[in-house]
Amino acid sequence: KNKSKTSLKDEEDDEEQQSNHTSNLLSQCDELLQQMALEARSVPEASLKRELLAQVRTYKSECQKLKDVYNKKALLAGSSSSGRDGNNHRERLLKQQDMLLNQNSQLENARKVLEETEQVALEIGTELTHNRETIESAHGRVRSVAGLTGRARRVLSSMSQRQTQQKMILYGLAAGVVIFFLLVLWWMRSS
């Protein structure tokens, strides 16, 4: 009878160790998936980022299925075991399940916030592209106006030069007419 009690106790210890080991592995899996998601989000190329995030979501769903199976088995094992240890184990599993559900909801909320942030970043990028095109268009118009202003300045300068030349010719002709008139008068007086 002592041997059977000892072997039962050893089996319970082994089951508890395996349960703890499985729980630790699932926790590590969660942490690794979080790190994978962070690494995937830091990839600059959008198509590769989407692909990596899709893979991470697939792995998360597989991990969640494994957790569900583990929790069901643990609950079934807890219900089949008798006494205080079974109740403690069941309570511990229920607490862990609640904690996992809370973590899942937190992760889901964080994912939604991240998606919203990515959407805002894409909108900002689109707006910046539009603003750059507007600025480049305005810069092109400024260069065009500057070219037209330079041409207008040259036209005005040539018109001013022509006007000055015409005035000089006019003054020269007026002086020539006056001199001619004076010469004619002098010639008429002298004759």
C-alpha span between 89 and 87 (Å, rounded): 5
Distance CA 171, CA 46 (A): 78
CA distance 17 to 10: 10
pTM as predicted:
0.39
Residue 1 DSSP SS3: coil
pLDDT band for 137, please (50, 70, 90 cuts). very high
Polymer length in residues for the chain: 191
Residues 95-115, mean pLDDT to the nearest whole number = 88
* Tokens found for residue 189: 């007086």
pLDDT confidence of residue 86: 58
Q: What is the mean pLDDT of residues 43-69?
A: 88
b/e code 156-169 from CB counts within 10 Å (16+ = b): eeeeeeeeeeeeee
Q: What's the one-letter identity of residue 80?
A: S
Higher pLDDT, 124 or 8: 124
Residue where the block lists tokens 């184990």: 89
